[in-house]
Amino acid sequence: MSVSRESEKAKRILECARDVFIANGFVGTSTDQLAAAASVSKQTIYKEFGDKEGVFSALIRYACDRVDDPFEPMTAAMRRVATADEGIERLAEQFTVSIMSPHVQQLRRLVIAEASRFPHLGQLYWENGFLRVLASISRCLSVLDERGLLSVPDPSLAAQHFSGMLLWIPSNREMFAAGTAVVDDDEVARGIAAGCETFLRAYRR
């Protein structure tokens, strides 16, 4: 979703809708609540998104854009780093900021909760969130391979290794905590350092 002036109203509706859906779940949220939270009419909701499911689908796409967009300049950054260590550390830092965001964790929790009722929304989140981010990481790793800094015969598989080693445990602990902080910064930092070291040991040329 563009952040142009024309989309500001839709953007505001989605940001308000996120809080309503997180608080009430998909089934427990009404169009009236969505309209009230954004201080717009129900007619505006229908005009912009069609219905409640349209709002939820747009919210997933919007949230996934916000996760993936910061990775766009990372591909160019990988062409400028001096060493593999620098590249992987920068990539890990961006990945952590994106994935450990409270909004990302809250939305992930919500999508999982509703996946059995609305499997297509779970698929939408998977395709627009997980797969997009993995594709972006894969492109970054391909650049490091092309520059001779890493040996990455299968960038897609390497992207899975990278993301799994870094945040699989902290991300899931945070998600299941439902708002209770259980992962401190030092723990995340140690996990990232160990994950980067292990990844580099496996893929260093």
Per-residue pLDDT tens for 105-155? 888 888 888 888 888 888 888 888 888 889 999 999 999 999 999 999 999
Q: Which residues of the chain have pLDDT under 70?
A: 1-6, 68, 178-183
CATH of 61-203, one of 3.30.450.20, 3.30.1490.270, 1.10.357.10, 3.30.300.30: 1.10.357.10
The pLDDT of residue 175: 74
The pLDDT of residue 3: 43
The neighbouring-strand residues paired with 204 are: 150
CA distances from 106 to 96, 128, 199 (A): 15, 16, 28
The pLDDT of residue 4: 45
The pLDDT of residue 100: 81
184 neighbors 151 (Cβ within 8 angstroms): no
77's CB contacts (< 8 A; 6+ apart) are 87, 90
The pLDDT of residue 2: 43
Asked whether the whole model's pTM tops 0.85, one would answer no
